[in-house]
Amino acid sequence: MLEEIEKITREVLKKITPARADRARLEKASRTLESKVSAVCAEFGVDAIVRLEGSVAKDTWLREDPDIDVFVRLPTSVPRKQLGEIGLKVAKKATQGQEQIERFAEHPYLETFIDNTRVNIVPCYNSMPSEWLSATDRTPYHTDYVNRRLSKPLRKEVRLLKKFMKGIQVYGAEIKVGGFSGYLCELLVLHFGGFVRTLQAFSQHMPRRTVDIEGYYANRQRELDLLFKELLVVVDPVDQARNVASAVHPQQLHSFAAASRAFLQTPSIEFFYPLKMQPLSVEELHNTIADRGSSLVFLTCDKVQAVPDVLWGQLYRTQKALRKQLQLNDFKVLRDAVWSEENAIFTIFVFELESRILSPAKKHVGPPLELLKECDRFLAKCSDNSSVVAGPFIEGGRWVVEVRRKFTDAADLLRSKLKSGGRDMGVAELIAENLRKDFLILIGEDVTEHYIYNEGFAGFLTEFLSGKPFWLEKPCYFSR
Amino acid sequence: MLEEIEKITREVLKKITPARADRARLEKASRTLESKVSAVCAEFGVDAIVRLEGSVAKDTWLREDPDIDVFVRLPTSVPRKQLGEIGLKVAKKATQGQEQIERFAEHPYLETFIDNTRVNIVPCYNSMPSEWLSATDRTPYHTDYVNRRLSKPLRKEVRLLKKFMKGIQVYGAEIKVGGFSGYLCELLVLHFGGFVRTLQAFSQHMPRRTVDIEGYYANRQRELDLLFKELLVVVDPVDQARNVASAVHPQQLHSFAAASRAFLQTPSIEFFYPLKMQPLSVEELHNTIADRGSSLVFLTCDKVQAVPDVLWGQLYRTQKALRKQLQLNDFKVLRDAVWSEENAIFTIFVFELESRILSPAKKHVGPPLELLKECDRFLAKCSDNSSVVAGPFIEGGRWVVEVRRKFTDAADLLRSKLKSGGRDMGVAELIAENLRKDFLILIGEDVTEHYIYNEGFAGFLTEFLSGKPFWLEKPCYFSR
């Protein structure tokens, strides 16, 4: 099996390792940019250290998507409020005449392109370790640490791990993905000693895993356990108070563990290069929906305009609130998901329910007999209540009644709860604003129009209906 | 309120206290029987102590249903196997010419009638306390204890408590009822000091209550707690190893607690003398069933021929097994009950379900990711399984699939499981025998024929549909 894996990784490395020409091109572009930014700093009288950081500086970038990150390290005397402002001013001047996009992380930074290569010009403080003033202050130290520790052969391994994670869609710390950052990949390879070894470790899944490369918590495991609550903890070698894996959502950790196990059992290049998914035809879509017997309920509204991390934070929060509301009203949610896309005009939430329609009658369990006053109040409330169908009667030491449900149709429930936006039930602010203007509840095949209209959504829904990760798709996947 | 209660209890006492003539008649009948049984014993050369026991001997009987219990205490030298045999022989000879019914408790005894009064002739051993050889050996000691301790005024209180318990249907230790025995009523009145005081105590319901009149476990509460697991423990004054309340089903304890509280809050003679329940008309029945929106599923078969305690043991066991089977298959059971009657030709189980029909799709939760081998097996099983609708996917750190349900109709489920009797799923033996011969599943209005045919069943179903204990019926029951 290891031979098979080696054959595959060789093939992958051929594709993802930057060629000499790529390197040269990027190096030149970086140096030019560095000088330009430095010059502008001098011109503006800004006392800054300008340096290339990130995957290009560490030589762990993938040939297919280089990202030039130039950091402008400002003196700690610069007020916090002016950091972004100065950074933007310098960056804009240095890239004058090029496309410029203002982005926001903790503070604004500038995105631009040189020869189709994305370039980020990011301001930060030249602060000392453990005296961080902004989140990006650590980045130069990360670059230094990795360059000092990561051997040349291991850089290949990092590339493989990154590409594998991209393939199975767990790469990237942005909120939409909630996955593994590039720096995290570097640390994992450093700690486990390679790509396959990292996969081997994670394939032996454990509910919680802590990695402490520098041994900051040697003999203080309990302290580490109390400090960090996440399922995966990788103590930052440049900051013992920070978990590099804090953005990794449990779902993504689990996907990585399961995919690692699957790859080691049945290696295939498709983990790195997934086949393009073919959306179902409309007829197939209708058959699939009809065949499974569950109910698909869609909620769609205009797309919210916001930067991705804000947008996806709001979308996920709203998805959770809607799911909870359905469950509170006894609908059995089999699965749920949300779809949105940069250039789409709509956003769509999908809920697969066991059944959209519930029986009108349900059991309502009241207080236990020993809570005397509560029982009196419960019985009084039941005695002139038209929603009571049977009882009150005693069951298991509690008063119980059968009552008529308020909502027997999930679509009615959502319509009723969302007509004023749904802020009170936890819908995120920007989404609630859009819902208040207008929304649509679609049931099953009603979604066809949206499906035909947007290929991205069609692909998403096809994947959702299958439910299976692509790397489990092979029919005889598990050899006996 | 206490005045109101006194007025009611005075009225009840007038009806339930035996008149002088009743006493005289019963005393005469008892003496005659005692002598006859003694004479037969002498004739057969049986060295027995013959004595009147039970409520008549203790003067705690209700005028409406006197029960003469004559006990034949045999020497402990008589072999255990012959106890019933000798008892029956003696009893039959002594009541020759009268209607004779052989009954079984722990051993056979004879039931007969003198002037429409039920008479039981019961054999037991003349054993010493704590050297019991049969369950009935304690009875003479119970008689002695109560006669020694219970004052004349308290006997009235016992009558009230018994009648109250009869009214709210928690009186009687037989399996069908699972309620309070006469002796238990006597001990409760003795301990709490009266009828109202007993109700006051139980109306302040507590999850578990222990009563130890003779203080056998004084300062040994922990030992008492370990010895007896029931929710109500009343240590037998003549046997510290026995809980007099062991036959009290939690449901009946709870009913008594709740009814006690209701009576003390709103006293009414109806607790003692419930109004006769009027079965719904067929039209009302149909409306009630249609209106509530739940599904009623009936299972009916020929009545099992067995003595009541055996019959009801089997019926309850079967009811529980059927409920469990429905629940295992995801049907939400709102309530369930079983009906049978001495002279009926059928027995009927009723299940009120939220819905008789379930969605075809459901979530099936597999092993957590850290159980590696189990996960491999689970995935292998799912990969060529036609019942899988979607997935496997990971959720909350476990593999999960959506599968098609085996049974989506509760009627189909029952039909399929019961066609061979259902012994394997826990249906009791005698019921399974009858089911194997023939049974019928009735849905909702299908039950009409049985409803019209048997008034007893009609009354039962009317009460079941209401669900409310009759003593909660008053519309403005709970005063604010």
pLDDT of residue B476: 37
What CA–CA distance (Å, rounded) separates B441 from B443? 7
| B370 → closest Cβ in A205, A394, A469 | A205
The widest CA-to-CA distance across chain A, in whole angstroms, is: 84
Q: Residue A397 and residue B368: Cβ atoms within 8 Å?
A: no
What CA–CA distance (Å, rounded) separates B166 from B263? 14
Tokens of B62: 């209700």
What CA–CA distance (Å, rounded) separates B414 from A272? 51
What CA–CA distance (Å, rounded) separates B79 from B61? 33
pLDDT of A55-91, one tens digit each? 999 999 999 989 899 999 999 999 988 888 898 899 9
In order of A161, A468, B361, the CA distances from B402 in angstroms are 31, 10, 6
pLDDT of residue A104: 77
Q: Is A67 helix (H, G, I), strand (E, B) or coil?
A: strand
**Mean pLDDT score, A37-47:** 92
* A375, closest residue in chain B (CA to CA): B258
Q: Chain A 333-362, CB below 8 Å of chain B: which residues?
A: 334-335, 352-355, 358-362
**Mean pLDDT score, B45-59:** 94
B478 pLDDT more than 70: no
Q: Residue A355 and residue B354: Cβ atoms within 8 Å?
A: no
Report chain B's mean pLDDT, rounded to a whole number. 93
Give the angle A201-A224-A204 at the CA atoms, nearest 5°.
15
Q: What are phi and psi of A245, to 5 degrees?
A: -95, 15
pLDDT of A292-338, one tens digit each? 889 999 999 999 988 889 999 999 999 999 999 999 999 999 999 99
Q: Which residues on chain B are in Cβ contact (under 8 Å) with A334?
A: 361-363, 390, 402
pLDDT of residue A473: 67
What CA–CA distance (Å, rounded) separates A72 from A88? 10
Q: Chain B 287-316, CB below 8 Å of chain A: which residues?
A: 291-295
What CA–CA distance (Å, rounded) separates B109 from B93? 13
pLDDT of residue A384: 80
**Percentage of residues of chain A with pLDDT beyond 90:** 86
Q: Which residues on chain B are in Cβ contact (under 8 Å) with A401?
A: 467
pLDDT of residue A475: 41
pLDDT of A164-220, one tens digit each? 999 999 999 999 999 999 999 999 999 999 999 999 999 999 999 999 999 999 999
Which residue from A50, A4, A3, A2 is spatially nearest to A269, judged by alpha carbons?
A4
| B379 → closest Cβ in A332, A334, A478 | A478
Q: To 10 degrees, what angle do helices A2-16 and A152-167 make? A: 90
Stronger pLDDT, A231 or B99, i.e. the higher one: A231
pLDDT of B105-123, one tens digit each? 777 889 999 888 899 999 9
DSSP A303-351: PP-S-HHHHHHHHHHHHHHHHHHHHHTT--EEEEEEE--TT-SEEEEEE
Q: Residue B360 and residue A293: Cβ atoms within 8 Å?
A: yes
DSSP A87-120: HHHHHHHHTTTS-EEEEESSSEEEEEEETTEEEE
Give the angle A453-A458-A463 at the CA atoms, nearest 5°.
170
Spatial contact of A103 and A57, defined as CB atoms under 8 Å apart? no
> If you ran DSSP here, which 8-state letter would residue A275 be given?
P
A454 pLDDT more than 80: yes
| B467 → closest Cβ in A293, A332, A390 | A390
pLDDT of B257-277, one tens digit each? 999 999 999 999 999 999 988
What CA–CA distance (Å, rounded) separates B228 from A106? 65
Q: Residue B389 and residue A254: Cβ atoms within 8 Å?
A: no
Tokens of B23: 């006493």
**Mean pLDDT score, A32-37:** 93
B385 contact A CB<8A? no
What CA–CA distance (Å, rounded) separates B272 from B168? 7
> How many CB atoms neighbour CB A479 within 10 A?
7
| B292 → closest Cβ in A254, A363, A390 | A390
Q: To 10 degrees, what angle do helices A195-203 and A250-265 make? A: 110
Spatial contact of B71 and B33, defined as CB atoms under 8 Å apart? no
Alpha helix (H) ranges present in A138-181? Answer: 139-149, 152-167
Q: Which residues on chain B are in Cβ contact (under 8 Å) with A380?
A: 478, 480
In order of B327, B347, B359, the CA distances from B410 in angstroms are 10, 19, 12
Spatial contact of B157 and B146, defined as CB atoms under 8 Å apart? no
| B475 → closest Cβ in A354, A383, A476 | A383
DSSP β-ladder status, B232-236 and B209-211: parallel
State the Cα torsion B318-B319-B325-B330 to the nearest 10°.
180
A181: exposed, middle or buried (Cβ count in 10 Å: 0-12, 13-18, 19+): buried
B251 contact A CB<8A? yes
A373 contact B CB<8A? no
Q: Which residues contact B389 (CB under 8 A, 6 or more apart)?
A: A291, A292, A293, A294, B361, B401, B402, B403, B404
Q: What pairs with residue A346 in β-bridges?
A: A302
Predicted ipTM > 0.95: no
Q: Residue B261 and residue A375: Cβ atoms within 8 Å?
A: yes
Q: Chain B 174-233, CB below 8 Å of chain A: which residues?
A: 203-207
Whether the bond between B392 and the residue before it is cis, its omega within 30 degrees of 0, is: yes
Q: Which residues on chain A are in Cβ contact (under 8 Å) with B465?
A: 390
Least-confidence region, from A201-205, A229-233, A354-358, B306-310: B306-310
> If you ran DSSP here, which 8-state letter would residue A78 be given?
S
Our CA-based measurement puts residue A205 at a distance from the nearest CA of chain B, in whole angstroms, of 5
Which residue from A46, A47, A95, A45 is spatially nearest to A70, judged by alpha carbons?
A95
Q: Which residues on chain A are in Cβ contact (under 8 Å) with B399?
A: 258
B30 pLDDT more than 50: yes
Number of inter-chain CB pairs under 8 A, A vs B: 184
End-to-end CA distance of chain A: 15
What CA–CA distance (Å, rounded) separates A240 from B302? 76
Q: Which residues on chain B are in Cβ contact (under 8 Å) with A384?
A: 475
What CA–CA distance (Å, rounded) separates B341 from A436? 61
Q: What pairs with residue A165 in β-bridges?
A: none
Q: Is A393 helix (H, G, I), strand (E, B) or coil?
A: strand
A363 contact B CB<8A? yes
| A468 → closest Cβ in B206, B391, B475 | B391
Provide the pLDDT confidence category of residue B473 given band limits of 50, 70 and 90. low
| A394 → closest Cβ in B203, B255, B372 | B255
**Percentage of residues of chain B with pLDDT beyond 70:** 98
Our CA-based measurement puts residue B277 at a distance from the nearest CA of chain A, in whole angstroms, of 16
pLDDT of B162-190, one tens digit each? 999 999 999 999 999 999 999 999 999 99
Q: Which residues on chain A are in Cβ contact (under 8 Å) with B250?
A: 396-397
What CA–CA distance (Å, rounded) separates A15 from A20? 13
Our CA-based measurement puts residue A359 at a distance from the nearest CA of chain B, in whole angstroms, of 6
Mutate to test the interface with A, among B260, B295, B359, B365 (most CBs of A within 10 A): B359
Sheet of B295-302, strand order: B333-339, B346-353, B295-302, B440-443
pLDDT of B68-90, one tens digit each? 999 999 999 999 888 888 988 99
AA letter at A185? C
DSSP β-ladder status, B100-104 and A440-443: unpaired
Q: Which residues contact B219 (CB under 8 A, 6 or more apart)?
A: none
pTM value is: 0.85
Alpha helix (H) ranges present in A337-428? Answer: 372-383, 410-418
B255 contact A CB<8A? yes
Provide the pLDDT confidence category of residue A224 given band limits of 50, 70 and 90. very high
Tokens of A185: 């990949």
Write down the residue that tokens 């999908």 correspond to.
A350
Q: Which residues contact A436 (CB under 8 A, 6 or more apart)?
A: A419, A420, A421
In order of A352, A412, A463, the CA distances from A320 in angstroms are 14, 19, 20
**Length, in residues, of chain B:** 480
A343 pLDDT more than 90: no
What CA–CA distance (Å, rounded) separates B405 from A359? 18
Q: Which of B40-54, B76-90, B151-165, B376-390 has the highest mean pLDDT?
A: B151-165
Q: Which residues on chain B are in Cβ contact (under 8 Å) with A257?
A: 369
Spatial contact of A389 and B294, defined as CB atoms under 8 Å apart? yes
Provide the pLDDT confidence category of residue A474 given band limits of 50, 70 and 90. low
| B466 → closest Cβ in A265, A354, A390 | A390
Provide the pLDDT confidence category of residue A108 given band limits of 50, 70 and 90. confident
**Mean pLDDT score, B365-372:** 95
pLDDT of B445-460, one tens digit each? 999 999 999 999 999 9
A477 pLDDT more than 80: no
Q: Residue A354 and residue B358: Cβ atoms within 8 Å?
A: yes
